[in-house]
Amino acid sequence: MSTTWKPKGFIAIILGVLLQPFVFLYVNKARLFIAYFVLMVICYLFDIRIQANAEESDWYQGIYFTSLFILICPIHAFWVTQHYNASQKRAWFARWWVTLLLFTTIYTCLTLVRIFFFEFFTIPASSMAPTLEKGSQVIVSKLGYGNYQYLGQQVLKSEMTAEVSRGDIVVFQYPQNPQSIWMKRVIGLAGDRVVYRNKTLYIKKACKQPTDNCPDYSVIEQSLVSQDGNGLKILHEVNEDSSYQILVNDNHMDLISHYFSQVGSRHGEWEIPQGHYFVMGDSRDNSLDSRYWGFLPEDNLIGKVIISW
SS3 content of the chain, % helix, strand, coil (to 5): 30, 30, 40
What does each of the 309 residues of the chain score in pLDDT, given as a tens digit? 445 899 999 999 999 999 999 999 999 999 999 999 999 999 998 888 787 766 767 777 778 899 999 999 999 999 999 999 998 999 999 999 999 999 999 999 999 999 999 998 888 788 999 999 888 889 999 999 999 998 888 999 999 999 999 999 999 999 999 999 999 999 999 999 999 999 999 999 988 766 667 788 899 999 999 998 888 999 999 998 899 999 999 999 888 889 999 988 888 899 999 999 999 999 999 999 999 999 999 999 999 999 887
Would you state the pLDDT for residue 282? 97
pLDDT of residue 1: 45
Please tell me the distance from the alpha carbon of residue 40 to that of residue 52, in angstroms, as a whole number.
18
pLDDT score at 267: 84
CA 282 from chain centre, in angstroms, equals 16
β-strand partners of 278: 188
Backbone angles phi, psi at 143, to 5 degrees: -65, 125
Rounded to the nearest 5°, which phi and psi values hold at 150? -145, 120
Count of other CB atoms within 10 angstroms of residue 80: 20
Strand boundaries in the chain, DSSP class E: 118-122, 137-141, 147-150, 153-157, 169-173, 181-188, 193-197, 200-204, 218-219, 221-227, 232-239, 242-249, 269-271, 276-280, 296-297, 301-308
Backbone φ and ψ for 195, nearest 5 degrees, come out as -125, 130
Please, are residues 174 and 251 in contact by the beta-carbon 8 Å criterion? no
Instruction: Please count the helices (runs of H) and the strands (runs of E) in the chain.
Output: 6, 16
How buried is residue 73: exposed, middle or buried, by Cβ count under 10 Å (0-12/13-18/19+)? Answer: buried
| pLDDT at residue 255 in the model | 87
Question: How confident is the model at residue 122, as a pLDDT?
Answer: 84
Q: Per-residue pLDDT tens for 258-276?
A: 999 998 888 889 999 999 9
DSSP output for 96-163: HHHHHHHHHHHHHHHHHHHHHTEEEEE--SSTTTTTS-TT-EEEEE-TTS-EEEETTEEEEE------
Domain ranges of the chain: 9-116, 164-296
Q: Are 20 and 69 in contact (CB under 8 A)?
A: yes
Mention the CATH class of domain 164-296.
Answer: mainly beta
Those residues with Cβ within 8 angstroms of residue 6's Cβ, 6 or more apart along the chain or in another chain: 81, 84, 86
Do residues 181 and 302 touch, judged by C-beta distance below 8 A?
Answer: yes
132-168 burial, b if ≥16 CB within 10 A, otherwise e? beebbbbebbbeebbbbbeeeeeeeeeeeeeebebbb
Cα separation of the two ends of the chain: 47
pTM value?
A: 0.85
Q: What is the pLDDT of residue 3?
A: 58
Percentage of the chain lying above the pLDDT 90 cut: 74
DSSP 295: P
The residues annotated as belonging to the active site are: 127, 184
SS3 state at 253: coil
Phi-psi region of 135 (alpha: psi -120 to 50; beta: other; left: phi over 0): left
